Amino acid sequence: MRELRLAIAQSSGELEGPEERMGWLETKLKDLPYQQIDLLLLPELFLTGYNKGKKLLEWAEANDGPYAKRISDLCKEFNLAIHYGFPERLDGKLYNSAQCFDARGNCLNIHRKLILPPGFEGDHFEAGQGCNIFELGDFKVATLICYDAEFPETFRHMADQGVELVLVPTALGAQWGVVAKKLIPTRAFENGIYVAYANQAGREGDMNYLGASCIIAPNGGELARAGQDEEIIFATLQRDAVQKAQERLPYLSDVKRIKF
């Protein structure tokens, strides 16, 4: 599969709890042209919502919990991969996690947020360790969650290992427009890779989301960009565009020649 057909579902922050969110997802899948989609990317903590305080612990589950099994079943029913965020309960600890199931319902990857930003996350979650690379078709893929993606070091580490697509579920507030509109395209451009950035929309309690989910090409150009409201965006990724971008601007090799 030299190309990957990607969709991002920018969901509403007003969806309340796992059952309502799963119902929303099931409805959207029935309306999607799913025969033409290989991967659906959902936001950070999609399963529960982000700004939920202690409810995150109440709604948390293991990575093979009941809701994970329902999403795995949806992958098989609609013949597409789904990548989503959820609060993961593991060994008595809580992680801000994301996982991807393929079209056969198999788990391809689990990523636990590496860097917890200032604010409530540090009071609720443990920081994860490591970034795993997984394959979706012919693409080498990795996950970074929200704040993870705001460090050039994380992207460069992935790109140096041959990653061609970084999936970034996020819960970005409206005051951080520079991240979605400037920083994320820069991360794609400076590494010559695709970046898919999936945010939430609307309000969730006292938090106002930016929206502005996007799919960015290896040359830094926008393939698709959402507005401020609930929306689904689409793009077809061409694997050879990564090689062309990295040959045109060999940042990954030339940076090793710098002497300070």
User: Does residue 137 contact residue 1 with C-beta atoms inside 8 Å?
Assistant: yes
Residue 160's alpha-carbon distances to 96, 140, 202, 246, 252, in angstroms, are 25, 12, 36, 11, 7
Kindly report the backbone phi and psi dihedral angles of residue 27, in degrees, each rounded to the nearest multiple of 5, phi listed first: -65, -45
Closest C-alpha among 161, 169, 74, 176 to residue 118: 176
Q: What is the residue-wise DSSP string for 18-64?
A: HHHHHHHHHHHHHHS-GGG-SEEE--TTTTT-SS-TTHHHHH-B-TT
DSSP β-bridge partners for residue 231: 10
Catalytic residues: 44, 113, 146
∠ CA 32-51-29, nearest 5°, is 10
Residue 84 neighbours by CB under 8 Å, 6+ apart: 42, 46, 47, 71, 98, 99, 169
C-alpha span between 42 and 83 (Å, rounded)? 6
